[in-house]
Structure 1
Amino acid sequence: MKKIENILLPDLGEGIETVTISEIPISTGQKINKDDTIVILESDKASMEIPSNIEGVVKSINIKNGQEIKTGDLLITIESTKATGKNIKQTPTQQKQTQPNKTEQKETIVKTRTKPRLNNGGIYASPGVRRLARELEINLDMILGSGDKGRITKADLHGYIKAKMYAHNTKPLHFEEDIDFNQWGKIDVKKLTKVKTITGQRLSKAWKTIPHVTQFIESDVTDLEVLRKKEKTKQTNNGVKVTMMPYLMKATVSALIEHPVFNSSIQNNGTNIVYKKYYHIGVAVDTKYGLVVPVIRDVDKKNIIELSKELMDVSERARNKKLNPNELKGGTFTISNLGGIGGSFFTPIINPPEVAILGVSRIKTENNAEKQLILPLSLSYDHRVVDGAAGAAFMVFLSNILNNPQNLN
């Protein structure tokens, strides 16, 4: 005897009066088995799956996604050819209507399976987070959860939303309301240069949207400095200034070849990673107008003297605002050298779409018998692409290259 079972929403307890339909994983005409999930609900307290207590064919679906329902509301109807289980309750009215050889209708009350978090293909998130993500059409796969077992919290979602809003906002930074500093003493107001304004916007965006990690290491460059001074002496009459920078560039390229993830970029909103087979190194140049990063192309194909000449040229033109716009594009990795100013370590900000940047500080002399020359290095990298072990391996490899500079030409 065929029976039409009406599946109703049971009392969910815990003070839950209404819930929202999050997902309906079944369709009309589909055969379902006992314990198959027929609907996924969300409340302010939990996510819940409603299972079927009988098997049969779905005759009708009486709810829709996003609908708010309450206890006793009709969810679906199922045509069943088997006797119902112990979790099915019939109302007195339905029992009186039961007649042999006719289709029988009865209401089925089912139990719920409640989870503190819904596992949606490996994604753990609270109902409120999932609801907001659905309304804003945000793919939760793109968000790294900081909660227990990788759960995506409201703070994670809000941070992602802010980052996306900032990334698409073409206006300058949002500052606090204007303050009249003159009320406390004399002041001098100067307008930021265009270079500094643009640089500030880019750096702020990079800092807000890229999860930075910075690792530090000290490298013994005693032998490298001896080598550099010899080459500097040989080039004195040629007018070529040989600094530490071209050696750092060559050593960095060797490390990039060994660890290609540092010579990559994220693409397609974080779903792809592009590994570049060319090595174009950006060099941060401090000018009176602001920070400029010209790109030296194909560093792997040039020797120390060629790089020294090119560095002299682009640095001079950068300070005189004579760089071609194309000379500021296409970098795969950036080096920021503060050695001429001083300091030990610092946290350089990544230059998108690159995934890493090397910070170089002033060489210091160790107070020992060897009088070793120690170079402090700081590597910032995008933690979405590079993990800590890879960062440490890169720094150790780079340091070893600088310790043994015989092949850096």
Structure 2
Amino acid sequence: MSEQEIKVPDLGGADEVEVIEVLVSKGDSVEEEDPILTVESDKASVELPSPGAGKITKITVKVGDKVKEGDVVGMMEASGDTGGSDDDKDSGEDAKSDEKDEAEAKSDDKEAKSEEKKPAPKKSGGSRKETVKVPALDGFDNVPVIEINVSEGDEVEADDALVTVESDKATMEIPSPYAGKIGKILVSEGDKISEGLDLVEMTIVEEGGDEGEEDASSEASESSGKEKQEGEPESKSKPSEPKPEQSSATYEPPAPGAKVHAGPAVRKLAREFGADLTRIKGSGPKSRILKDDVQAYVKSQLQQTQQGSTVAGGGGAGIPGVKLPDFSQFGEIERESMSRMMFATANNMQRSWLNVPHVTQFEDADITDMEDFRKAQKAAGEKKGVKMTPLPFLLKACATALAELPQFNVSLDMDRKEVIRKQYIHIGIAVDTPHGLMVPVIKDVDKKGLWELAAESADLAQKARDKQLKPAEMQGACFTITSLGGIGGTAFTPIVNTPEVAILGVSKAAMKPVWDGKDFQPRLMLPLSLSYDHRAVNGADAARFTSVLSQLLGDIRSLLL
């Protein structure tokens, strides 16, 4: 056995990336393309694959380390059975040779046949009938059929799509394991299928039939069809056609419903990357998509993302970038680097806006009596050395509302399809500082009194302005309050600070005439703007939440109950 270095491959233009997970340990046996590490750039998390099959002898990085292209992250002993008889191993060992694409094509075809475990051996002639069953669906069960890609009597090649199914995470085609003629179709659109279920009946044409002629014609550069006549499956045939150039810029995706030629291993790789196979140009025989094609496509999309271009088919995360003109043609300009905080805030805001369906509920709260009470505490505040502002009342009212309407005190785990219900009430307060927006968190608001909340909020706000906040003082919020009341405005639509599901915006209070049943009375009204995640909160609950806040602020005695 020979020992080889495991190096960081091309990272699609990213400079340094952080190791966020080590997926193997010393002594583990791995196959080619098995993930070794997970790294995270500013744009995405990516698994780094093993360059070949073998045993891990050393891992030289740990979680939190920064790595770049070419860095050695471990050592491995290559398997001794990497001879020419195994095409998969060849393709791993010769990954940088001139015949890489040819070996990949053979590897993908072989995996497709071995996964289905139903090669169509050629015999002395004639035909036979086979029932095609649903193959392994990568852990999915009871997936609905959304499209039947063939009809009775159709002639199909091996790996042609028979049906298209849709799981919660992806749409995938189930390929034909044989070349032959479609007989009876045993499923319908809308049916839910699982591994092992009968899918279609087929007539398989054996040696001397149409299948042999198709195989021969597909290999235009082969001077002889000896391998097929000797009974070797189609996937073993060696393509000698020149590899088409990779040109995503000029490639036009196939029309909807068109067939995509790719083996199960390639489809799995595409699913892991979140790549849309219909947008990838295949470089193999018959425009078959190879692993290299998927990797090249993902690399190009990452580069386009970093350049601000549109990420096509990126699963909804990519948006059209804004191309800036040369502003210097209009006058004098000056450029300065964004601060780390500004850049992080911009990314978080964009991430929240893209992932959260926002709705904003508006309400005016009558705080006339609350303000009279607050101003009456001025002398007591001077003795305590604490200034009583409207914020402690808002904090206490929000804590009470969160306890009464716990659907606002949750986070959504969409990967596990779970709602995380929090048994604590921590509230973030947005603070405008010279360095940017900061959100310190007041813990256990429901257990604290108004004076304690006033002192703590003032202390945290000053720490934020002095850049003295600790990380722990900015974590754990269930809900956020952002107030522009000291500046002005009548309403605004704050962005939810995900993974929270709601945020309260507070605008400037103003005197308004309010009808009391007999006369109009001057009342001090405080505009409230509640933005919420519509996946977790419905409109009726949002209206109840703002109504509770209005009642609590209108009669602060209820805060003491």
Q: TM-score range by the shorter chain?
A: 0.5 to 0.7
Secondary structure of the corresponding residue to residue 306 of structure 1:
helix
d(CA) in 2 for partners of 1:137, 1:382: 28
Q: Determine whether 1:342 maps to 2:449.
A: no
Secondary structure of the corresponding residue to residue 235 of structure 1:
helix
User: Where do 5+ consecutive residues of structure 1 fail to align?
Assistant: 9-22, 28-38, 52-61, 76-108, 141-157, 167-173
The answer to whether the 8 A contact 1:250-1:300 is kept is yes
d(CA) in 2 for partners of 1:340, 1:40: 55
Q: Determine whether 1:189 maps to 2:335.
A: yes
Amino acid at match of 1:328: M
Amino acid at match of 2:463: R
> Could you tell me which residue of structure 2 aligns to residue 137 of structure 1?
271
Equivalent of 2:370 in 224, 232, 235:
224
Q: Determine whether 1:161 maps to 2:161.
A: no
Amino acid at match of 2:316: K
User: Where do 5+ consecutive residues of structure 2 fail to align?
Assistant: 1-126, 137-142, 153-157, 162-172, 194-255, 275-311, 515-519
Secondary structure of the corresponding residue to residue 394 of structure 1:
helix
Q: Determine whether 1:377 maps to 2:523.
A: no
d(CA) in 2 for partners of 1:387, 1:68: 42
Q: Determine whether 1:403 maps to 2:554.
A: yes
Alignment of 1:184-263 (within 5 A): 184-263=330-409
Root-mean-square deviation over aligned CA pairs: 4.0
The answer to whether the 8 A contact 1:49-1:112 is kept is no
What are the superposed Cα offsets for residues 319-348 of structure 1, whole Å, 9 maximum, x if unpaired?
Answer: 010111110111111000111111111111
Alignment of 1:312-351 (within 5 A): 312-351=458-497
- CA 1:73–1:182 in 2, change beyond 3 Å: closer, same or farther? same
Amino acid at match of 2:526: L
Q: Determine whether 1:304 maps to 2:450.
A: yes
> Could you tell me which residue of structure 1 aligns to residue 429 of structure 2?
283
d(CA) in 1 for partners of 2:414, 2:404: 25
Task: Give the Å deviation of 1:215.
Answer: 1.2
Task: Give the Å deviation of 1:228.
Answer: 1.5
Amino acid at match of 1:161: G
The answer to whether the 8 A contact 2:481-2:503 is kept is yes
Task: Give the Å deviation of 1:195.
Answer: 1.6
Q: Determine whether 1:180 maps to 2:331.
A: no
Normalising by structure 2, we get a TM-score of: 0.48
- CA 1:63–1:194 in 2, change beyond 3 Å: closer, same or farther? closer
- CA 1:327–1:41 in 2, change beyond 3 Å: closer, same or farther? closer
d(CA) in 2 for partners of 1:159, 1:343: 40
- CA 1:279–1:41 in 2, change beyond 3 Å: closer, same or farther? closer
Task: Give the Å deviation of 1:160.
Answer: 7.5
> Could you tell me which residue of structure 2 aligns to residue 103 of structure 1?
none
Greater relative contact order (Cα < 8 A, sep 6+): 1
- CA 1:110–1:385 in 2, change beyond 3 Å: closer, same or farther? same
Task: Give the Å deviation of 1:137.
Answer: 3.4
- CA 1:237–1:226 in 2, change beyond 3 Å: closer, same or farther? same
Identity score, percent: 37
Q: Determine whether 1:271 maps to 2:425.
A: no
Q: Size of the alignment, in residue pairs?
A: 305
Task: Give the Å deviation of 1:48.
Answer: 6.5
d(CA) in 2 for partners of 1:131, 1:356: 45
- CA 1:304–1:49 in 2, change beyond 3 Å: closer, same or farther? farther
Equivalent of 2:438 in 277, 286, 292:
292
d(CA) in 1 for partners of 2:501, 2:191: 31
d(CA) in 1 for partners of 2:187, 2:414: 37
d(CA) in 2 for partners of 1:380, 1:269: 24
d(CA) in 1 for partners of 2:510, 2:540: 27
- CA 1:370–1:24 in 2, change beyond 3 Å: closer, same or farther? farther
- CA 1:237–1:131 in 2, change beyond 3 Å: closer, same or farther? farther
Task: Give the Å deviation of 1:175.
Answer: 4.8
- CA 1:40–1:285 in 2, change beyond 3 Å: closer, same or farther? closer
Amino acid at match of 1:330: G
Secondary structure of the corresponding residue to residue 277 of structure 1:
coil
The answer to whether the 8 A contact 2:352-2:498 is kept is yes
d(CA) in 1 for partners of 2:148, 2:555: 59
- CA 1:25–1:264 in 2, change beyond 3 Å: closer, same or farther? same
> Could you tell me which residue of structure 2 aligns to residue 79 of structure 1?
none
